[in-house]
Each structure stands twice: as structure tokens, then as C-alpha cells.
Amino acid sequence: MLEETKRAISLDKLESTLLKLLRSSRSNETREKEKNSWLQYLCSPVASWKIFLGKSLPYFLTNLMNYGLLLWFARSVVLVKVEGSTLLILLLGLLYSVTITSAGFYLSLWAANSQQVTRYLLLLSVPFFMISGYCWPPTHIPELINNAARLLPLTWMAEASRLVTVKNLGAHYIVHNILALTVMALVSTFFALTFSKRRKPPALGGLEVDCGNSYPKRD
């Protein structure tokens, strides 16, 4: 029981860190749209895929670095027993990082302002973790919610991570997880690489956060 608690804490740290990085990646483009500096990229002759790579590569590398640091933290500080193939653990982290980095970039293009990024990510992070099946058994979750959870990369990542690091199972036991994460990574990367350079003007209403110039006023 203590070991499972430690693992839950470690995975929660991993999820919260990656969600913060996803929020930072999404806020970057929305802040630039608010300040009209995003026009420099839309009007330039640079291809969409080059803009995506230039914007997202730092976040992708940071995701991988944090993934490795959190695994070290779980094993050395929290004293979680991490077993399984190192290559499989790295592969899962790679696929997950590619998915959330690409999805974060693409979704930021549709966010009206940085307030939306902060509001909805904070609102959805806890439900996503709860329905992923790690802290609550999928057998005790309604089938409708289970089906919705299978659309989230965290669900497949959490299950595969548990099978590899806890049960020390091989690749043939997590084939479906690897395939699901691969499909999600390919789909999100495709949309991010081929995004339209047509401008979507920032919303004039609402607050600007993350170093914005608009603040709430008292009556």
C-alpha cells in the first residue's frame, strides 16, 4: 500500500509538471497573439513546420529532461522501486512528450487569449488524472467515462508505466499502449506541422494574464 502511494505521488508529480510545461507552451503563442508579435511568423515566408519545430523543440527537450529528473526523484528520494526496461520507459516518455508538446502548440493557435489556457488546463488536469485509471480502478468507473479516458494520452501512459515499472513486464504486454500513444503522437504532430498561417485575431474582451497589460479593476 505504501509503495502504491509513493507511485501515485510520483505520477502525480509527473503529470502536474508536464501540464505546467504544456500550459507554458500554449501560453507562449497566445501571449504573442495578444501583443501582435505572432504576425511576424504568419507573414514570413518560413514554412509552418519550421515555425512549429522552432517553437516547440525547447519545450520538448524540457519535457524529456523533467521526465528523467522525475524518474530519478521517484527512485532516489521517494524510494519508489522502479523496475522494467529502461528503453521502454524512455520510449513511453518520448511518445508522451511528443504528443503533449504538439497538441499544446496546435491548441494554442485556437485559444483566444492566455487566460483561457490557464483556466481550462487547471480545470481539467485533476479530472484527467482521476479518470486515467491510476488512482481509481477502471473497473469501478462507468464505461462511458472509461471510453472518454481512452482518448487521453495520460490514460495509456499511466497504465503502461505501471505495467513496466511495477510489474516488470515486457514490450508485448503494452503493445496496445505503445500503438495508442504512437497514433496520438503522429496525429497531433501532423496537425501541428501543417497548421494554417491564416491569422486568428486575439479576443478583445477578458483579462490578459502572464505579464499582460490588463488587470481587474475594483468598483
Return the domain boundaries, the chain: 2-193
Question: What is the Cα 36 distance to its own chain's centre?
Answer: 26
Going residue by residue through the chain (219 aa), what tens digit of pLDDT does each one get?
Answer: 445 555 555 555 555 555 555 555 555 666 676 677 777 777 778 888 888 888 888 888 888 888 888 788 777 877 777 788 889 989 998 998 899 888 888 877 777 666 776 677 777 777 777 787 777 778 888 888 888 888 888 888 888 888 888 788 888 999 999 999 999 999 999 998 888 777 655 555 555 544 454 544 444
Residue 197 grid cell = 498561417
pTM of this structure: 0.76
Per the CB < 8 A criterion, the answer to whether 161 and 82 are in contact is: no
- Which of 9-28 are b and which e, b meaning 16 or more Cβ less than 10 Å from the residue's Cβ? ebbeebbebbbebbbebbbb
